Amino acid sequence: MSPEIQFADRNFKLAVVQELMYNQDLLPKFDPREYAAERGFTFDGGSVEAVPEALAYFDALEVPVELAEKITEIEMDGGNEIYLEIAPNWDGEDGLFDVDEFADVEHFPHLKSMTLLYTGNDEALETLRARGIEADWL
């Protein structure tokens, strides 16, 4: 088994998994209804909150270190599949998926561009830009 990336921020991990799972097809797709059937719970497809079991799936998901080089851009958007799998009716009006900690960029040497969900944390943008990453709010 290959080593996995240890993430400091859950939402940064989710943004990376969006890229690897849904945009590049490098991780197996998550099907919340199939997962619910396997685990014996009912998936609430109308939830605006995070479905705890879906969030737990992504928390436990291992992202192999060798996939880090595949990340060149991260595009956080309220319509990203991963967010809709976790909170199907999330309206983007709260900070559910905001990234608070950007230490995880160290794992991604080829990361050149990030579009972030708006938090108003301009210091985060400056930190990313100082690392040579084009960073902007959505």
Q: What is the mean pLDDT of residues 109-131?
A: 94
Amino acid at 51: V
Query: What does the alpha-carbon distance between residue 105 and residue 8 come to, in Å, rounded to a whole number?
Result: 10
Q: What is the mean pLDDT of residues 50-65?
A: 97
Q: Residue 64 in 3-state DSSP?
A: strand
State the residue for tokens 């967010």: 83
pLDDT over 90 (residue 2): no
pLDDT over 70 (residue 1): no
Which pLDDT does position 120 carry in this prediction?
A: 85
Q: Residue 10 in 3-state DSSP?
A: helix
Query: What does the alpha-carbon distance between residue 99 and residue 8 come to, in Å, rounded to a whole number?
Result: 10
* Mean pLDDT for the chain overall: 95
pTM of the predicted model as reported, rounded to 2 decimal places: 0.96
Sign of CA dihedral 14, 15, 17, 18: positive
pLDDT over 70 (residue 51): yes
pLDDT over 80 (residue 117): yes
pLDDT band of residue 92 (cuts 50, 70, 90) is confident
Q: Which helix (H) or strand (E) holds 67?
A: none
Q: What is the mean pLDDT of residues 56-75?
A: 98
